[in-house]
Structure 1
Amino acid sequence: MKLNSGCAAWIRINGHLTTELNPTLEDRYAECWLAAELGESFTVHVQIPEGAVPSDISARLYVDGALCGGKIIRQASLPQARVFSGVAQANGVSERKFVFGELKTTENEEDVFGPLGYPGIDMVLGTIEVSLVPIQNLVIVGHDANTGSTPDAAPFERKVPELQLYERSKLEVTQQVKLSPPSERQVPVSWVDTQISGPEIARFEFRYRPLEVLRAKGIVPNTKGLEREPSVVILDSDPAKAQAQSSFSSGPSTIAPSAIFPQAESKDKNKNKTNDLTDPGAAEMDIDNIIDVDALSETQVQPASEATPRRIKCKKRSDRSAATSPNRAAASGRRVPRPSGFGLALEAEMIDMTDL
């Protein structure tokens, strides 16, 4: 998805650029739906063009409402692209990849609670969000990427919360993001101190669901009957005529993505279109990457053993397919404002972790 400012964010699933369904674009806010299946891995990409922002930027990633990291983008080095592939570990040389996993349910309502510390967690389950905020005063305080040493001030290892949903809540969400076993990073990391210097510049929200759920909601139509029957090949002595007479081969026809994912009409000129973004690919793996990872905040769960499940109680909510801007969402209580403050952040890749 790409805003008028030129700032863009997109997701690749299993290495492939995803189709953004029913995208809604506003001045500083964009949202869309994604089809995701269990076991698939994904990466989140952010791109900022030259002249689009007034200062250095912290691109912060929220997964299912939990803050999972961030990347620092220097204004002087624009245009730049960054990639979130997983959660960096405290040793600075390994990370755990993002994977779509199963959201477990429980029959005992008393075992369900809100691990993230605020109501409305059901509104952010099944979402991947990128927030762009201006920052200043970067000071390296953590892991030394050159020596591999980890000082006492090194940040904790981030984890996504293990959630359990009350089975009678009847939410459409059946998945949550989980983390793969640790693997070696291509670029080591360091932690730095930063300060947020202004309001949020942009936010991108991706709502992921299984394909059958998107079909049930009418976002993706049932593809049954879309495939055309092969036509008869009419032979002709003139090859040019034969080619003109035979519009299809004798084998099954190939259906274009636009036929599988047709978009409904909308009053909003930006809605119901799929975005075609140019993926910078290898350019995103610049060794000068700077990562920003927010630390503990009012919305961040305290580190806990992954073996201990965390549970939530969710109320049935209405369909969220209609677009809602951050301002309107705040007024309705839908979106919890993200805190601002100081943080820790990476050098080869710099991670910024805000600790309020």
Structure 2
Amino acid sequence: MSNVSISTFNAWVTIEGQTCPVFALKHINRRSAMCWIPSQEGKKFSVNWSNSFREKPVHAELSIDGVVCSTHYMLDLLDFPDDPSAIGISYATTSDFTRRDFVFSAIQVTDDDAYLYTLDSPPTFGTIQLELWEADIQQIERAPFQHRYGSDVLEGQTIHEMSKKAGSHHVTFGGEYVVPRATVNMVTGIRKGDAPLASFTFNYRPFDILRAGGIIPPSPSQTIVVKSEPVDDRIRDLEAQIALLRAQKAEPSRPSRQKNDFKTHWGHDSRSGKTVQVIDLTDL
């Protein structure tokens, strides 16, 4: 399974163009779902979602490791039939014409005691959350994109080497690059309701950690398969073993030689001319 569905919405993660499988999918309620995905160090990724019907405008909010990285709108199909029904978010904007991509990165560890506080209060990481809200649209203006400044950024994190989360990944913003300034629908609106229409949570960890924790099942080559033998074959094998034991029991055993168990034979005494019994001591 690679995508998560809630009502008419679908969400999935792609890592450098390849759809990422999901594991341990759990629908918490009819509007909320949670799953696990394997992160890949140094790889860029995109969070994608679609709405099959687009009955109403939707406000989307993407948070990664507790930081809001993107907010945008998907407009309704009736008034905006040419707009896309699927959106992918792979970057955060840093100005009107610059971006930084989302990248899975290794968490830096240190033995510096100054970072001991991270044992009790580690930085927030390991979670990608997409919330989709019904929107009340107030104004739409076709205009060149305008970046809203003041957002938080995702930079490298350092934790103490004794932390339970050592060896995990977190998300950082990649290097900044320039793109042409696009003309878009600059939408002004507010989200409606007390809860989102759909909430998708993708928990991420390195593949090996998810497998060790039982989230990802072992591969077939790692699974020990015990073949069940037919009952008749097992009976025949046991009978053959019993017959062999009985044969060994019935075989006469060679008596052990006692201390006085000598070999004897009859010989001729040349001096007396008589036949005498000879005791053979060569085996002693």
Q: Same fold (TM over 0.5)?
A: yes
Any residues of structure 2 matched to 1:92-111 within 5 Å, and which?
93-108=97-112, 110-111=114-115
User: Could you tell me whether the CA contact under 8 Å between 2:60 and 2:132 is conserved in 1?
Assistant: yes
Distance 2:117 2:183 in 1: 35
Structure 1 194/105 Cα, relative in aligned 2: closer, same or farther at 3 Å? farther
Amino acid at match of 2:74: I
Of the candidates 159, 163, 188, which is equivalent to residue 169 of structure 1? 163
Q: CA deviation at 1:27?
A: 0.5
Structure 1 residues 90-109: Cα deviation after superposition (integer angstroms, max 9, x where no partner): 22x23111111111223345
Which amino acid counterpart does residue 215 of structure 2 have in structure 1?
I
Distance 1:61 1:113, change over 3 A: farther
Q: Which has the higher contact order (CA 8 A, sep 6+)?
A: 1
Deviations 1:183-221, CA, capped at 9 Å, x for gaps: 344772666543222132111011111111011101223
Does residue 74 of structure 1 match 2:68? no
Q: 2:121 & 2:187 partners in 1: Cα distance?
A: 32
Cα separation, partners in 2 of 1:120 and 1:186, compared to 1, 3 Å: farther
Does the 8 Å contact 2:50/2:86 carry over to 1? yes
Structure 1 alignment gaps of length 5 or more: 228-356
Matches within 5 A, 1:233-272: none
Aligned residue in 1 for 2:256? none
Is the 2:125–2:171 contact (alpha carbons within 8 Å) kept by the matching residues of 1? no
| 2:271 corresponding residue in structure 1 | none
* Alignment partner of 2:8 out of 6, 9, 13: 6
Aligned CA RMSD, in angstroms, stands at: 3.3
How far is 1:110 from its partner?
Answer: 4.2
1:197 corresponds to: 192
Give the secondary-structure state (helix, strand or coil) at the position aligned to 2:5.
coil
> Which amino acid is 2:26 matched to?
T
Aligned counterparts, 1:170-185, within 5 A: 170-171=164-165, 174-185=168-179
Q: Which residue of 1 aligns with 2:33?
A: 30
Supply the distance in 1 between the matched residues of 2:5 and 2:209 (Cα, whole angstroms). 27
Query: Which residue does 1:135 correspond to in 2?
Result: 135
Q: Does the alignment pair 1:42 with 2:45?
A: yes
Cα distance in structure 1, aligned partners of 2:116 and 2:199: 30
Q: Secondary structure at the match of 2:4?
A: coil
User: Does the 8 Å contact 1:88/1:158 carry over to 2?
Assistant: no
Note if contact 1:49-1:80 (Cα within 8 Å) is conserved in structure 2.
Answer: yes
Partner in structure 2 of residue 21 of structure 1: 23
TM-score (norm: length of structure 2): 0.64
Residue 132 of structure 1: how far off its partner (Å): 0.8
Cross-structure match for 2:204? 208
Query: Match of 1:36, as an amino acid?
Result: S
Q: How far is the alpha carbon of 1:139 from its aligned partner?
A: 4.0
What is the percentage of aligned positions where both structures have the same residue?
23
SS of aligned partner of 1:225:
helix
- Measured in 2, the distance between the counterparts of 1:144 and 1:6 equals 30
Q: Which one has a larger percent strand, Structure 1 or Structure 2?
A: 2
Mark the structure with the bigger radius of gyration: 2
Residue 75 of structure 1: SS of its match in structure 2? coil
Contact in 1 for aligned 2:67/2:152 (Cα 8 Å): no
Taking a change above 3 Å as real, the CA distance of residues 121 and 110 of structure 1, as seen in their structure-2 partners, is closer
> 1:66 & 1:43 partners in 2: Cα distance?
16
Query: How does the TM-score come out when normalised to structure 1?
Result: 0.52
Matches of 1:188 and 1:156, distance apart in 2? 21
